[in-house]
Structure 1
């Protein structure tokens, strides 16, 4: 596979890569603006080499794979378009916030796309692993998880499959410094997927409210985890997880408040940002996490 793809600008791929590089599992060259993308397409693990060869205003991408792939190229492009929000007109998002109180923030990060996690099951595992941890240790833990039980292909790391994780013993995750409960959550959720009690293909078709209602029934998954999965796993556009400490700190900094906002204040403010609250979340994260 070797294709050149034009995308509607503005599209700030470099800023997106800076955020993605926070994850130690990422294979990114910021100078060359390249990233290796491990995705599952039609049941096949495929690594895509993606490079930005255009500009912020006229983005163009070189999309290639190391070897010929056993799936239609259009299926790969469609999945990449979803993951990188190539199908989302970012100018419309920026215009929406132009006269909004977040206008300066959207001007600062103009064209920065929201990028989904590359593997849906991997995203579910990551948000469970990351809950109630500081960012540094959260990524350390998910990296250990992937490099111990997942696999590497063409220079990119894939999360282990639900079948693999469902067969693990709690002690194997405890050896990686998982807490007892978190190890149980990861294994038990994987068992639900293997046994058919949870189907991610069905979840994709649900509304945001239905997804949250379905996921919070699972032991170890609360509202924050469900909302983050909606954002990073499914790419939904209107999520604003008020329990997220990063968003709380982002608002505190942006509004120059002395203390972090209450949930009530966050809900009141974010009501004005519908239907693009996911992008409001992203840019608030950017303001405190990415230089």
Structure 2
């Protein structure tokens, strides 16, 4: 279950009470919209297909995969598909390995996206056992598809940049430092990440339109 707008607002209000810089920015840019993705295998497969290509290219590859393998791209069918067929859909050799690893994990029951461990770190460990799924991808899935409100993607560059800006740091904090800085924001760190992206995008939009930086 993804974070609803109401849950997101409550968490950001709690963060604003903890951190004056967030409260000030909230007055300027308002609340971010919820970020919601479908739960399950297909969401991660789409993540793999979409790596380092445009949205249009990813959609075209997905359509070819469904045409050649079957609607819904059942994990058993993807796992059994020969490399030549997958390559014909537009997948690179690396992405073929990643897609096959994901499909094999799901088809064999090694991972069940309906029953991921309740502990975030255990769930991340299961997901990162899949080729091509790093910690960032696992954290984004848990935050957007499962609505786990305390997931903190500290390795995200935009999150690091915006945390540094909000807190008035002289330079962008490292992943380790970003994790440390947000410890006091638990259990609302997922909302903090969504707000950081919202703030980062607001600054970027202001810069593009030559407005005074926020």
**Fold conserved between structures, TM > 0.5:** yes
Q: Deviations over 1:250-274 (max 9, x none)?
A: 3345456564321232012211221
Task: Give me the whole-angstrom Cα distance separating, in 2, the residues matched to 1:177 and 1:252.
Answer: 39
Work out which of the residue numbers 129, 132, 138 in structure 2 matches 1:217. Answer: 129
Alignment of 1:156-235 (within 5 A): 160-175=73-88, 177-203=90-116, 205-235=117-147
Q: Is the 8 A contact 1:238 1:275 kept in 2?
A: yes
1:97–1:176 CA distance, 2 compared to 1 (3 A):
same
1:102, distance to aligned residue in structure 2 (A): 1.8
Other-structure match for 1:262: 174
Q: Is the 8 A contact 2:83 2:96 kept in 1?
A: yes
Q: Deviations over 1:189-232 (max 9, x none)?
A: 112212222222221x5321220121222333222222122112
Q: Do structure 1's residue 272 and structure 2's residue 184 form an aligned pair?
A: yes
Q: Do structure 1's residue 147 and structure 2's residue 66 form an aligned pair?
A: no
Q: Do structure 1's residue 128 and structure 2's residue 40 form an aligned pair?
A: no
| TM-score between the two structures when normalised by the length of structure 2 | 0.75
Work out which of the residue numbers 155, 159, 173 in structure 2 matches 1:247. Answer: 159
Q: Deviations over 1:56-104 (max 9, x none)?
A: xxxxxxxxxxxxxxxxxxxxxxxxxx34616x53442132122313223
Point out the structure with the larger helix share.
2
Q: Do structure 1's residue 89 and structure 2's residue 7 form an aligned pair?
A: yes
- Gap regions ≥5 residues in structure 1: 1-81, 152-157
Task: Give me the whole-angstrom Cα distance separating, in 2, the residues matched to 1:282 and 1:273.
Answer: 13
Q: Highest relative contact order (Cα 8 Å, sep 6+), 1 or 2?
A: 2
Other-structure match for 1:118: 38
1:119, distance to aligned residue in structure 2 (A): 4.3
Q: Is the 8 A contact 1:130 1:138 kept in 2?
A: yes
1:195–1:245 CA distance, 2 compared to 1 (3 A):
same
1:221–1:118 CA distance, 2 compared to 1 (3 A):
closer
| TM-score between the two structures when normalised by the length of structure 1 | 0.57
